[in-house]
A and B are shown apart, each in its own frame.
Chain A
Amino acid sequence: AQSVTQLDSQVPVFEEAPVELRCNYSSSVSVYLFWYVQYPNQGLQLLLKYLSGSTLVKGINGFEAEFNKSQTSFHLRKPSVHISDTAEYFCALTGDQFYFGTGTSLTVIP
C-alpha cells in the first residue's frame, strides 16, 4: 500500500521568512514524488517532481524539495515567501495510481 502524509494542515508565516512544508510517504516500491499548488479558485499546478537522480529538486517560483529515502520524506522549502505564495499545497506520489496528501494551507502574513 502507498500513502502520503502531510504533517501540517496549516502553516502561517511572515512575508520574506523561510518556510518548510512537510511530507512523508509510505511505499514498498519505488515511487515518484510531486508537489502541486492550488491557488484560490484555480486548478492544481505542478511545482516540482522527483523522478530519480539528484535528491534536491528545484521547481517554479523559487521552491525546492529534498527527497530523503531513509526518512521517507519529501519536504518542500522556500527561503523567502511572498504574499502571492498563499495557497494550498499538496504532496503526491505515483505508485499503482496517483495519491495526494490532505494538503497544507500556507498563509503568508504581511
Chain B
Amino acid sequence: DAGVTQSPTHLIKTRGQQVTLRCSPISGHKSVSWYQQVLGQGPQFIFQYYEKEERGRGNFPDRFSARQFPNYSSELNVNALLLGDSALYLCASSRPPHSLTDTQYFGPGTRLTVL
C-alpha cells in the first residue's frame, strides 16, 4: 500500500501570502494530523481530524486552518504568512478506531520557505 503522500514537496512564498498544503492518508486510515517542524526542533502538533471533524488543536494562531474531505484527504491552510512559518509541515495518518495510542504514519513533509 502507498504511504502517506504530501504535496507539494517544496514551496516558496513571500510574507503576507496564503498557502495550501495537501495530504493523502494511507488507504483505510480515517485520522489525519498536521505538525510543524522548525529546523532543529521536534514536530509541534497543529491539528487532528477524524471523520472530517476537528478532534484536536495545538497552540497555533487562527491564521492556521485545516479541513478533511469525504475521502479523508486533508488540506492545511496558512494565511498572512510570516517568516517564522518557514518549516517542514508533516502530515500523519492513523487507522481506526481513533485513539491517542494509535501509531501515526508520517508523510515526507512539505518544506515551506517564507521570504
Q: Which residues of A contact B (CB under 8 A)?
A: 4, 6, 32, 36, 41-46, 49, 51, 90, 92, 94-103
Given contact pairs A97-B48, A97-B58, A98-B33, A90 touches B4 in the complex (Cβ within 8 A): no
Return the contact of B108 from the options A41, A51, A96 (Cβ within 8 A).
A41
Chain A residues in 8 Å Cβ range of B104: 44, 46, 98
Classify the secondary structure of B's interface with A: loop
A52 to B61, CA, bound (A): 35
Return the contact of B3 from the options A32, A43, A90, A98 (Cβ within 8 A).
A43
Return the contact of A43 from the options B45, B101, B103, B109 (Cβ within 8 A).
B109
Q: Is the CB of B42 within 8 A of A102?
A: yes
Chain A residues in 8 Å Cβ range of B92: 44
Instruction: Count CB-based A-B contacts (< 8 Å).
Output: 57
A45 to B104, CA, bound (A): 8
Q: Which residues of B contact A (CB under 8 A)?
A: 3-4, 33, 35, 40-45, 48, 56, 58, 90, 92, 100-101, 103-109
Return the contact of A49 from the options B3, B33, B48, B103 (Cβ within 8 A).
B103
Given contact pairs A97-B48, A97-B58, A98-B33, A43 touches B42 in the complex (Cβ within 8 A): no
Chain B residues in 8 Å Cβ range of A32: 100-101
Given contact pairs A32-B100, A43-B3, A43-B4, A97 touches B45 in the complex (Cβ within 8 A): yes
A102 to B109, CA, bound (A): 17
